[in-house]
Structure 1
Amino acid sequence: MAYSSAGQPDPAKVLLKRESRALRGRVMLPVLLGVAATMAALGTTWLVARLLAALLGFPGAGWPELAAAAALAVLGAALGLAQERAQLAAGEAARTRLRDLTFARLLAAGPADARSVGERASLVVDRVEALDGYFGRWLPTATLALIAPVLVIALAAWADPQSGLLLGIAGLIYPFAMAGTGIGAATASRRQFEQLERLSGRFLDRMRGLPTLVLFNRQEAEAEALGEAADELRLRTMKVLRVAFLSGTALELLSALALACIAWRHGGLSGGDPTAGLFCLLLVPAFFAPLRAFAAAYHERLSATGAAAALAPLLLDPEPEGLLLQEMPPKVVVTFTEVRLSYDAARAPALDGLSFRVNAGETMVLVGPSGAGKSSVLRLLMGFNRPEAGRISINGQDAMALRPEELRRLSSYIGQKPHLFRASLRENIRFARPEATAGQVEAAARAARVADFAEALPQGLDTLVGEGGWGLS
């Protein structure tokens, strides 16, 4: 999916909004628990204010208020614990959903995806992990930061209208302070993730090619280059953390100022019943507590924005449409008619006017130098790419009308460098058909001549091999 800089929504925001709707129930549970915990804390605050007034010699509170305050404190702690667990569950649900979606899209893209192995690993692991805190902490905390302060202001205004007004002014100032520190934070976080992705891709690629680096005596130069890239990542990470500390400092200054103003307003709690003044003073920490949590979770939003920007081109692409196979055809006839395929409009097409026909049971050999389009033909047959012009038909029907995964059901493919996973030979053979019986696996092993050498191995087809076939010669 292409996005222009003008007239198009930010793809990162589109992705985050879509996933927020999908996980609304998970996100709202910690919000509801947080509101309940806040109400319990406010009740405790009122009772504590009355008890403190009683200690100062003003009657009106005794053992019943003390017992009620203790009960509300225990209830608030229990609700807070439940809120934390609900936040962890929301983050885990988001992480699982997004990792499954990302992995499925990467598998569906196949060789048409130009990312390196390291970049793909970074998408599935680092980028998805960065979104955990957005759904588990940021969204519930941001929502609660809108609700809880309003409840506190309402109670403060009930006890003393001017104290409520002071808290309301502090609440209005805080977003401007956050905006001042956060204008460049999203850009800094996005650059941090871009650097992390480049470093991950480069490190994994160099590790895979370590024997070649040693042969050409380039290991020290590459180690130095990796060190420079890691140092650049450190500097960009510190820029993001600097923003987080600045926002926290601004909040602490605002909190101290509000507390001083309310204390000045009540004149040292002299001249009558101090319950209202004590209550308003105790409400100041309760007012700023959700805002502190908001500031602490703000970097989760910044990290998520950078991660979502990298995931959006992959996850926002529309699902390919097409027909499903009702049944597997017993025979397949493949026809290419004037097929054209380009990867880059500025370069010559990979295929231009290609036509051929392969009947059922025939063997066809594609011969040509590198870049002639042999792999492109296979990609078209398996649905990884679609032709710009021409027609590909299977048994006379338009192959592009089928869903890509249906085309792959009709194909069996072995590349120039087939990958063996770290598993037994039997598991590697069964990889494409997990439901295959033992007899079918053994028949496939004989057909591929694997049985010829597997019989000499200690555990036959159950012998473990390393990634890429390590352990086999």
Structure 2
Amino acid sequence: MLHPMATPSTGAEAAAASLLKREARSERARLIPPVLLGLGIAACGIAQAFLLARLLATLLGRGDAGWPDLAAAAALALLMAALGIAQERAQLAAGEDAKARLRAAAFARLLAIGPADDRAVGEKSALVVERIEALEGYFARWLPAAMLAILAPLMVAAAAAAADLVSGLILLGAGLLVPVVQALTGIGAAQASRRQFAALQRLSGRFLDRMRGLPVLVLFNQQQAEALRLGTAAEELRQRTMRVLRVAFISAGGMELIIAATLASLAYHHGALVRGTHPTPVTALFALLLVPAFFAPLRAFSAAYHEQLSARGAAADLAPLLDAPEPEGLLLEEVPPKVTVTFHEVVLTYAPDRPPALDGLGFRVLTGETLLLTGPSGSGKTSVLRLLMGFRRPDSGRIAINGRDATLLKPAELRRLSSYVGQRAFIFRGSIRDNIRFARPDADDTAIETAARAAQVMEFAAALPQGLDTQVGEGGFGLSGGQAQRVAVARAFLRDTPLVLLDEPTAHLDPGTEAIVFEAVRRLCVGRTAIVATHARAARNIFGQVLELQAGRAGPARMAGE
């Protein structure tokens, strides 16, 4: 089947075509049932057209059909309806399977990239939701329709040619015109579809990000201005959507023109039927009645045409994410019980036009020690943690764990070594117990309760209606900031890794709550290698070794209280 824009002219189009082709191969087994059911519908349509031709010829006094033919035609109509329902279900199953697989792959890639992906949350959501949703029609409707648009018309044209060669050739010629019309109406349509999806992604991302920052917008009295900007983005999306729909309407009009021309040609060829002098009226009527059966799969092809245009636009945005090479590196045979972390002349730069985040940083944290990283915002504290979690690779220098080069490991293997507690613990909707279990899904209730006691979660959970089984809302609704942080520390206790990384674990907490959380953190760090990035002065009285960073460089290390 001919496709306009089938030869990609840009790298994005080539990547999109490669992604769609690869996924189509993966869905091949699920696409066979709808195609076979479609061929069954076409065969029933041919048989029904022949029976109806016999019935009409009988009504004209030129045939001998009877009630059995009428009953058979009615039975075929019911069978075609049943096959159509089965085909629709098979197509939906193919589309859902493709979406589930692609969404899982995209989400896994986003998780693997982690903070290294600097796209906004709204943009990531649009990729995983809207972009993949736009691919459903490609697998559920376009691919089956594209195959049936070749096989089913050939079957009908062959049946017509068996009855009358000229009629079969007329149908075949009409079928060859369909892709030509699709190509003419589709010039520039793929580009319009990509622009529509780009506008949709911008609007979705902007809307989600602004909803998250709504309190800030209200605080600075920017709600009206932002509403106008959202309205402008929505108007742009409306205009681009109308351009895509215009292509669909033009394509449908071209299809109707071809059908009308085909009926006129067949009517002219079998004009003797009207005069009552046609030698084989059943054949003439059969050829005319085959036109709906011939064009039904081509109509489906035309209706699904915009699906593949939308899919190409969506795939062009998804391909860079899904086709990104898997991070290379070694795997750990097992997680070591103790670790020593060494940085030597480590340099990390996020962008060429910005100064290095780390500029020749060096330090060592021995087994069981806790290193407190201090310094102003932007001095490189969080960058150290990102390197140790595998979200970034150093530009130069050496990071060693137990004397071995840590950059030789896969990033995911680095994360197996560590537990992380950030500034704000994200709490999922569910029970407190389930939120702690998130760190180790196979943990039993005893291990969860032990971790909760160690992190002082039980101090507030005991007063709740159902203890650890108390339900909390998305984002920690129902818990205070300090309580949520203690849940995060409990996750780290449950994970029980040799390396603990903490990034401002008491930020935004009042002094009393800060002291409680730091006590839980102190217990967590005992016997483990720990690196704590914080501004809190109270931490200097709790942890042993302090390293102050300035512009990515290390000052002299000192003990707490010095």
The answer to whether TM tops 0.5 is yes
Aligned residue for 1:457, secondary structure, equals coil
Q: Partners in 2 of 1:208 and 1:8 — Cα distance?
A: 31
Q: Is the 8 Å Cα contact of residues 336 and 393 (structure 1) preserved in structure 2?
A: yes
- Between 349-358 and 31-40, the greater mean CA deviation after superposition: 349-358
Q: Which residue of 2 aligns with 1:82?
A: 86
- Is 1:204 matched with 2:202? no
Q: Which residue of 2 aligns with 1:326?
A: 333
Q: Partners in 2 of 1:249 and 1:214 — Cα distance?
A: 49
Aligned residue for 1:338, secondary structure, equals strand
Q: Which residue of 1 aligns with 2:74?
A: 70
Aligned equivalent of 1:126, options 114, 119, 130: 130
Q: Partners in 2 of 1:439 and 1:399 — Cα distance?
A: 34
- Identity rate of aligned residues, in percent? 66
Q: Partners in 2 of 1:22 and 1:384 — Cα distance?
A: 31
Q: Which residue of 1 aligns with 2:483?
A: none
- Give the 5 Å matches for 1:229-244: 229-244=233-248
Aligned equivalent of 2:424, options 417, 426, 430: 417
Shift of 1:144: 0.5
Aligned equivalent of 2:266, options 250, 255, 262: 262
Q: Partners in 2 of 1:398 and 1:39 — Cα distance?
A: 67
Shift of 1:346: 4.2
Evaluate the alpha carbon distance shift between residue 120 and residue 363 of structure 1 in structure 2; reply closer, same or farther with a 3 A threshold. Answer: same
Q: Partners in 2 of 1:343 and 1:368 — Cα distance?
A: 19
Evaluate the alpha carbon distance shift between residue 5 and residue 265 of structure 1 in structure 2; reply closer, same or farther with a 3 A threshold. Answer: closer
Q: Is the 8 Å Cα contact of residues 320 and 404 (structure 1) preserved in structure 2?
A: yes
Question: Across the two proteins, how many residue pairs are aligned to each other?
Answer: 470
Shift of 1:454: 2.5
Aligned residue for 1:331, secondary structure, equals coil
Q: Is the 8 Å Cα contact of residues 30 and 86 (structure 1) preserved in structure 2?
A: yes
Shift of 1:268: 4.7
- Give the 5 Å matches for 1:34-433: 34-269=38-273, 270-271=276-277, 272-433=279-440
Show CA shifts across 1:151-210 (max 9, x none).
122222222222222222222222121111111111111111111111111111111111
Show CA shifts across 1:69-123 (max 9, x none).
3333333222222111111111111111111111111111111111212112212
Shift of 1:463: 2.6
Show CA shifts across 1:114-146 (max 9, x none).
121211221221111111111111111111111
Evaluate the alpha carbon distance shift between residue 268 and residue 238 of structure 1 in structure 2; reply closer, same or farther with a 3 A threshold. Answer: farther
Show CA shifts across 1:344-378 (max 9, x none).
24444333433332211111223333333322221
Q: Supply the AA of the counterpart residue of 1:383.
A: G
Q: Which residue of 2 aligns with 1:456?
A: 463
Aligned residue for 2:371, secondary structure, equals coil
Q: Is the 8 Å Cα contact of residues 13 and 312 (structure 2) preserved in structure 1?
A: no
Specify every segment of 5 or more residues in structure 1 that has no aligned partner in the other structure, as ranges.
Answer: none
- Is 1:471 matched with 2:478? yes
Q: Partners in 2 of 1:371 and 1:183 — Cα distance?
A: 50
Runs of at least 4 residues of structure 1 off by over 4 A? 4-9
- Is 1:25 matched with 2:29? yes
Shift of 1:21: 1.0
The CA RMSD measured in Å over matched residues stands at 2.0
Evaluate the alpha carbon distance shift between residue 298 and residue 9 of structure 1 in structure 2; reply closer, same or farther with a 3 A threshold. Answer: closer
Q: Is the 8 Å Cα contact of residues 53 and 273 (structure 1) preserved in structure 2?
A: no
Show CA shifts across 1:426-452 (max 9, x none).
222221112222222222223323223
Aligned residue for 1:366, secondary structure, equals strand
Shift of 1:46: 1.5
Shift of 1:38: 0.8
Show CA shifts across 1:365-416 (max 9, x none).
2333333332222122111222333332222223233222221111111112
Evaluate the alpha carbon distance shift between residue 13 and residue 6 of structure 1 in structure 2; reply closer, same or farther with a 3 A threshold. Answer: closer
Structure having the higher strand fraction is 2
Q: Partners in 1 of 2:71 and 2:221 — Cα distance?
A: 76
Q: Supply the AA of the counterpart residue of 1:329.
A: P
Aligned residue for 1:370, secondary structure, equals coil
Shift of 1:8: 8.0
With normalisation by structure 1, the TM-score equals: 0.94
Q: Is the 8 Å Cα contact of residues 23 and 94 (structure 1) preserved in structure 2?
A: yes
Q: Partners in 1 of 2:231 and 2:72 — Cα distance?
A: 60
- Between 230-239 and 441-450, the greater mean CA deviation after superposition: 441-450
Q: Partners in 1 of 2:405 and 2:272 — Cα distance?
A: 85
Q: Partners in 2 of 1:67 and 1:460 — Cα distance?
A: 69
Shift of 1:64: 4.0
Show CA shifts across 1:231-273 (max 9, x none).
2111111111111111001100111111011101111513222
Q: Supply the AA of the counterpart residue of 2:466.
A: Q
Q: Supply the AA of the counterpart residue of 2:432.
A: L
Q: Supply the AA of the counterpart residue of 1:415.
A: G
With normalisation by structure 2, the TM-score equals: 0.79
Aligned residue for 1:259, secondary structure, equals helix
Evaluate the alpha carbon distance shift between residue 403 and residue 216 of structure 1 in structure 2; reply closer, same or farther with a 3 A threshold. Answer: same
Aligned residue for 1:436, secondary structure, equals coil
Q: Supply the AA of the counterpart residue of 1:12.
A: A
Q: Is the 8 Å Cα contact of residues 118 and 205 (structure 1) preserved in structure 2?
A: yes
Q: Which residue of 2 aligns with 1:436?
A: 443
- Between 65-74 and 285-294, the greater mean CA deviation after superposition: 65-74
Shift of 1:278: 0.7
